[in-house]
A and B are shown apart, each in its own frame.
Chain A
Amino acid sequence: MKSREEILHRVSMNQSLRAEHAGLPDRDEIRRLLTWEVDQSVLIERFADELQSVGGAVIRTTEKNIADALVSYLRSVGAKCVLLSEDMLQTWVDLRQRLLAPSGGRRGTVEFLYSDDSRSPRDPISDGARDQRSADTGITACEALIAETGSVLIKSSDIQPRLTSLLPERHVVIARSNQLIGTLWEAFALIKKAEGGLPAAYTLVTGVSQTADIEKVLVKGVHGPRELCVILLEG
């Protein structure tokens, strides 16, 4: 702990001690510069535009049609192995019936894995058990959608692993339209008053994994997902 004391001592001795400071600008001043009044209906358009501009897509549907929307999306992109949490199936009962208790072979060739399985992808794979690593699509819920930047705010929890939105090449977010907020400021206000304290990790996802490290050429899907789709439930 000697270093701690020495560093703090040096910092205290050297830092400015004069009382001329204007003070730390208060939160309201930051809020004033970062927020603006917007109509909720405009938010959806703005969010969709922003998300598209960073390589994502939005599918607008209703709670009632969630299963149809999801199944037809998964089919259209040719998903074969999908990660999702058991909790999501409890939230959207339709989804369970449609995905896991299919009638007439609707389930097709798609395999579903529980993302909140206690077996971590870094643990050795047991024989016969399909591993999460082979999933091509991960489905998550979210905390908020930010119109200003087209971002999706996700938090880690016991039912929401961080890797579901990272390992597979495709990330699908299921969100409700009342989760739409205008600005980054509101997102951080939301984080600040998170119930039950902060989660281990929040991830702000804006578009897909990308790099421009080689001659500034934009390449999508360098380590994380190459595709991002937000299924937005309205009404």
Chain B
Amino acid sequence: MSVDLIDIQKNIREALRDLPLRTAVWKATEHSLKKREGVVGEVANWEELRTLAHQIRKFTIDHLAQYLQEFERSATANGMKVHWAQDANESVSIVRTILQQHNAKHIVKSKSMTTEEIHLNALLEKDGYSVVETDLGEYIVQLAGEMPSHITAPALHKSREAIAELLTKKFHEPVPSDPALIASIVRRRLRDLFLSADAGISGVNFAVAETGTLCIVENEGNARFTITLPHVHIAIMGIDKVIPRMADLALFLKLLPRSATGQRMTSYVSLISSPRQTNDPDGPEEIHIIILDNGRSSLLSDSSLRQVLYCIRCGACLNTCPVYRQIGGHAYGWVYQGPIGGMLAPVMLGFNTTPLHPYLSSLCGACAEICPVKIDIHHVLLYERSLVVAQRRTSRIERIILKVWAWLMSGRWRYAFSTRIAQLLSTIFGKGAKVYLPVWGQTRDFPPAAKKTFHQLYRKVRETSGQ
């Protein structure tokens, strides 16, 4: 998909000025981290579980073609229809064809990042379909005409007052700013939609190859409605969602809810293996699974980037990232945010569109530490930066500065000379140095050079200790 350059620098400047946003994001991520800590701390072998999960994800991705085919075989044998889509357009046109076959006009959706990625709602709405998001946060974000700002908490950036104001305007009835009342008003409205919808569209958390089972994880029950009531269920999954065995699911379900929402288990986990069986009183008559590539297979060829596909979309790396916590999700300018979003952006949207996304990290490594499948996130980001540099996408002035820097640092006397010059400049200009660092200096003071260099101090220590 071609997108114009995402101007994250502008986004970041705006986000940093938006104090209510920053407060909301900080509080919400703090809350999630604390809850996670409690339920992760109680698992004595958490590190062993992570290592095992990493091994399973690695093996699966290394043998992806085999597992995708096994999944297709099992799911088809169970009576579900499997479709393959190379990109966003193809997946949307498959959805459109299925909807046309059933003359379906009203569609309910449960939360899915993959459908955000292919801009499914906008494209279907353009064709005259009504598509309603049914996860509370996602519903709010859809009414506001915004993108989700967090993988698992889409409306995290909005205050209750802002939500009440939005719903009052949309519903033409007063909506109080009380979360429980808001939820019950939305429940009432969406219940009718569920009962009258022609088709349900969902994402997939895990697709079990050996049994052809779709695993869908949620808390609200909206996904259960979406995949139970309408006659047709369409599930859209990336090629990376497949796992080998039912046994693996036991492991991933121990890791995912704890990492994502700090729960030991989410309220509902649905394991869908087939359409409604002969005498079943409910369930969809048809289930269509769309397996989407959309650039994922190209990641496989690079041994450093391949591990991005291990991700199980828990969102823990967002919560812990010092950059995400300051700027929130919208600054990233597309559907995936935080460290995982920074990693995915250049490889899925192209380096020309998102050359700066790998730089949205302090490289502190908190993301890699929290990742339940042990993706070496900050090293992947660092690696992507090296690709940005290799592709000569950095500014000319930056390249010159770094060349000079490398030259100065790589010679004994050049180094000694430059530290002296730095000391001299530091005493002359003091904090006024920001004048010479227009962008960098806007939010930082230039640290003064030390009065004595390390070499000077070292010599002195040796002299006084008499060696």
With A11-B68, A14-B298, A200-B275 in contact, is A116–B269 under 8 Å at CB?
no
Which residues of chain B have C-beta atoms less than 8 A from A207's C-beta? Answer: 267
Among the listed B28, B49, B229, B247, which residue makes an inter-chain contact with A188, where contact means beta carbons less than 8 Å apart?
B247
Contact with A along B44-62 (1 / 0, CB 8 A): 0100110010011011111
With the chains together, A13 CA to B65 CA distance in Å? 9
With A11-B68, A187-B250, A216-B28 in contact, is A21–B59 under 8 Å at CB?
yes
Contact in complex: B61, A15 (CB < 8 Å): yes
Residues of A within 8 A of B (CB): 1, 3-4, 6-8, 10-16, 21-25, 27, 29-31, 33-34, 50, 54, 115-118, 120-122, 133, 148-151, 156-158, 161-163, 166, 183-185, 187-189, 191-192, 198-217, 219, 221-225
Contact in complex: A219, B180 (CB < 8 Å): yes
Contact in complex: A157, B220 (CB < 8 Å): no
Contact in complex: B281, A158 (CB < 8 Å): yes
Contact in complex: B220, A121 (CB < 8 Å): no
With the chains together, A17 CA to B45 CA distance in Å? 31
Contact in complex: B153, A213 (CB < 8 Å): yes
With contacts A183-B250, A192-B246 known, what are 19 further pairs, Cβ within 8 A?
A7-B86, A15-B63, A21-B58, A24-B244, A31-B247, A54-B265, A54-B267, A117-B281, A149-B264, A163-B229, A200-B274, A202-B270, A203-B268, A204-B269, A206-B263, A209-B267, A217-B160, A217-B179, A219-B180
Contact in complex: B303, A16 (CB < 8 Å): yes
Which residues of chain A have C-beta atoms less than 8 A from B60's C-beta? Answer: 24
17 CB < 8 A contacts A-B: A8-B65, A15-B64, A16-B300, A21-B62, A24-B59, A50-B264, A148-B264, A166-B225, A184-B253, A184-B265, A201-B272, A203-B270, A203-B271, A211-B220, A213-B137, A215-B160, A223-B194
Scoring A31, A122, A202, A212 by chain B CB atoms within 10 A of each residue's CB, the highest score goes to A212
CB of B365 within 8 Å of the partner chain: no
Among the listed B136, B191, B251, B303, which residue makes an inter-chain contact with A211, where contact means beta carbons less than 8 Å apart?
B136
B44-93: which residues lie under 8 A (CB-CB) from chain A?
Answer: 45, 48-49, 52, 55-56, 58-65, 68-69, 78, 84-86, 90
Contact in complex: B228, A201 (CB < 8 Å): yes
With the chains together, A210 CA to B262 CA distance in Å? 14
Among the listed A25, A116, A216, which residue makes an inter-chain contact with B55, where contact means beta carbons less than 8 Å apart?
A25
Contact in complex: A162, B224 (CB < 8 Å): yes
Which residues of chain A have C-beta atoms less than 8 A from B250's C-beta? Answer: 30, 34, 183-185, 187-188
Q: Give the distance to chain B from A166, nearest Cβ to Cβ, in Å.
A: 5
With the chains together, A151 CA to B187 CA distance in Å? 24
Contact in complex: A29, B52 (CB < 8 Å): yes
Which residues of chain B have C-beta atoms less than 8 A from A3's C-beta? Answer: 84-86, 90
With the chains together, A122 CA to B194 CA distance in Å? 9
**Nearest-CB residue, chain A, relative to B150:** A213
Scoring A148, A187, A201, A215 by chain B CB atoms within 10 A of each residue's CB, the highest score goes to A201
Which residues of chain A have C-beta atoms less than 8 A from B246's C-beta? Answer: 188, 191-192
With A33-B45, A161-B281 in contact, is A214–B229 under 8 Å at CB?
no
Contact in complex: A214, B136 (CB < 8 Å): yes
B191-233: which residues lie under 8 A (CB-CB) from chain A?
Answer: 191, 194-196, 211, 213, 219-222, 224-225, 228-230
Q: Give the distance to chain B from A181, nearest Cβ to Cβ, in Å.
A: 12
Contact in complex: B220, A209 (CB < 8 Å): yes
With A201-B273, A213-B155 in contact, is A14–B297 under 8 Å at CB?
yes
Which residues of chain A have C-beta atoms less than 8 A from B293's C-beta? Answer: 7, 10
Scoring A120, A148, A156, A208 by chain B CB atoms within 10 A of each residue's CB, the highest score goes to A156
B267-318: which residues lie under 8 A (CB-CB) from chain A?
Answer: 267-283, 291, 293, 297-301, 303, 306
**Nearest-CB residue, chain A, relative to B69:** A8
**Nearest-CB residue, chain B, relative to A85:** B281
Contact in complex: B84, A163 (CB < 8 Å): no
Contact in complex: A133, B195 (CB < 8 Å): yes
